[in-house]
Amino acid sequence: MNLLQRMPRIVTIMVVFVVTMSVVRTWTGFDDLTSSGTIGATLRLTVPILLAGLAGLWAERVGILNIGIEGMMILGTWFGAFGAWKFGPWVGLLFAIGGGMIGGGIHAISTIRFGIDQVISGVVINLLAFFGVRYLSELAFVGQPQGGISQSPPQSSAIGRFDVPFLSGGRIGGWTSPDILGNLEERGWFIIGDVAGIARGLTNGVSWASLIAIVLVPLSAWILWRTTFGLRLRSSGESPESAESLGVNVIRVRYQGLLISGAFAGLGGGFLAIVSSSYYRQGQTAGRGFIGLATMIFGNWRPTGVLGGAAVFGYSEGLKLVAGNSITGLFLFIAIVAALAAVTGLVRASMRRTLAAAAVVAVAMLAYLTVDEVPESLTQSLPYVITLVVLGTASQRLRPPARAGVPYRPGSAH
């Protein structure tokens, strides 16, 4: 599509971001802001949200709201853990996809075949998945070593990770190549050190599953905007009557879209149960399905945008994880983000936005300079707060599929 036209803007945003963070890091000595540890954690935490966001995107592009992503992810965690425990991690991921597709299929049948309200169907799937996997655990996990009603037995093997040779000390044959980025990062030079840290985080100890998830972003974009299938699929979300009048089988593409949506959600769940940890645990998804929906809106219903939104959440969670006690650094992050929003507000001559963002900067800086310790319960919620701040300040002209969430009956054109 217009990826090439958008490229320069993305590059500009990234450059501004890196420079700002670099300035703040050297100024405050808060090294975790751009350390490879933080970025590596960011990547791991981004992937499930990214997959949830893509799940939402595939469903809404076809014209159906999918509130049930959380439930489909729960199915993914359970089936993924079960498959990985029995047959190994890769088969586990396939099981996770299958589990998610069961959820997607239920949503499709209830909303398309029986015309049940899309929101209600989604909510029911969330509840059904939650209690359904407890029942399945009762059958499969209770009585197994370390297994129980809310937990699966641990998996014996994991999905491999890789380091990129020369950049991050990857091995070629038996020889370990130099870790160039690691060396640069240790020097901590202004900007160079930050770029090296970020790049190393993205190239060191990366799970093959993460790589697959990232590849799904351009793949989704390519399928949706370059193929016949994608055009017909999107037409169902934009104007199903026109699509039908041109011979597109709207009902069929809606089923297909929801099955794909379920597959993405299931894979996201499987990632949590197989890559992020090595067993299924109740509550593992922790609302990521809903955060995924938020990133879909933030990303303007486009795959690259979803990636951006998921990365924001992944980063704030990663920072919390790595920074540990020095969690007050997150206030700094909030201040940076708000400052960027204030600058763009100035550029676009939007006074109200500039003032709002400036107020956030002031509050966040005050908190950073005065607060030494943050209660545990509050740090848990910080990533959500940050995500809200970012989603709120990054106002943009959104273009949702015109008919997302509107039920369609064939021949309903008047």
Partner 1 sequence: MTTSTPPAVALDGIWKRFPGVIANHDVTLSVDRGTIHAIVGENGAGKSTLMKTLYGMHRPDAGTVAVNGTDMHMKSPADAIAAGIGMVHQHFMLADNFSVLENIILGSEPAHRGVIDAASARTDLTELMRTVGVTLDLDTPVSELGVGERQRVEILKVLYRGADIVILDEPTAVLVPEEVDELFATLRRLVNDGTTVIFISHKLDEVLQVSDAITVMRQGTTVASVAPADIDRAGLAELMVGSELPTPGGRTTDIGETERLTVANLSVVGADGRLVVEDATFAVRAGEIVGIAGVEGNGQYELCTAIIGLRPATGTVIVDGDDISTASVRDRHDAGVAYIPFDRHREALMLNSSLWENGLLGREASPELSTGPLVNIGAARSSTRDIIDRFGVLTPNETVPAFALSGGNQQKLVVGRSMITEPAVLIAAHPTRGIDVGAQAAVWAELRDARDAGCAILLVSADLDELIGLSDTLLVMFDGRIAAEVDPDDVSPAILGGYMTGATTGAAS
Least CB distance from residue 399 to partner 1, whole Å? 6
Neighbours of 215 (CB within 10 A): 10
At 314, list the tokens: 């992944």
What lies within 8 Å, CB to CB, of 189 at 6+ separation is none
Task: Using CB under 8 A, pick the residue from 195, 241, 251, 290 that binds partner 1.
Answer: 241
Q: Among 329, 350, 328, which Cα is nearest to 394's? A: 350
Q: Indicate whether 246 belongs to the interface with partner 1 (CB under 8 A).
A: yes
Residues 44 and 210 sit within 8 Å (Cβ to Cβ): yes
273 alpha carbon, distance to own chain's centre = 15
| Binding characters for partner 1, 289-318, by CB under 8 A (x = yes) | ------------------------------
342 alpha carbon, distance to own chain's centre = 26
Nearer Cβ to partner 1 (28/227) = 227
Nearer Cβ to partner 1 (187/414) = 414
At 182, list the tokens: 């690691």
Q: Indicate whether 348 belongs to the interface with partner 1 (CB under 8 A).
A: no
Cα dihedral sign for 8, 12, 18, 22? Answer: positive
Nearer Cβ to partner 1 (284/344) = 344
Least CB distance from residue 117 to partner 1, whole Å? 14
Which of 93-103 are b and which e, b meaning 16 or more Cβ less than 10 Å from the residue's Cβ?
bbbbbbbbbbb
In this structure, what DSSP letter does residue 272 have? I
Q: Indicate whether 62 belongs to the interface with partner 1 (CB under 8 A).
A: no
Nearer Cβ to partner 1 (93/404) = 404
Q: Among 72, 26, 64, which Cα is nearest to 48's? A: 72
Task: Using CB under 8 A, pick the residue from 172, 173, 228, 376 that binds partner 1.
Answer: 228
In this structure, what DSSP letter does residue 208 have? H
Interface segment toward partner 1; rule CB under 8 A; list 17-25, 149-157, 224-232, 369-377: 224-232
| Binding characters for partner 1, 247-276, by CB under 8 A (x = yes) | xx----------------------------
Nearer Cβ to partner 1 (228/377) = 228
- The HSE-up count of residue 55 (CA atoms within 13 Å, CB side) is 40
Interface segment toward partner 1; rule CB under 8 A; list 135-143, 240-248, 310-318, 351-359: 240-248
CA distance 60 to 62: 5
CA distance 100 to 195: 37
Nearer Cβ to partner 1 (151/239) = 239
Residues 369-408 that bind partner 1 (CB under 8 A): 399, 401-402
Interface segment toward partner 1; rule CB under 8 A; list 132-140, 194-202, 226-234, 364-372: 226-234
Site residues for partner 1 per CB under 8 A: 226-229, 231-232, 234-235, 238-239, 241-248, 399, 401-402, 411, 413-414
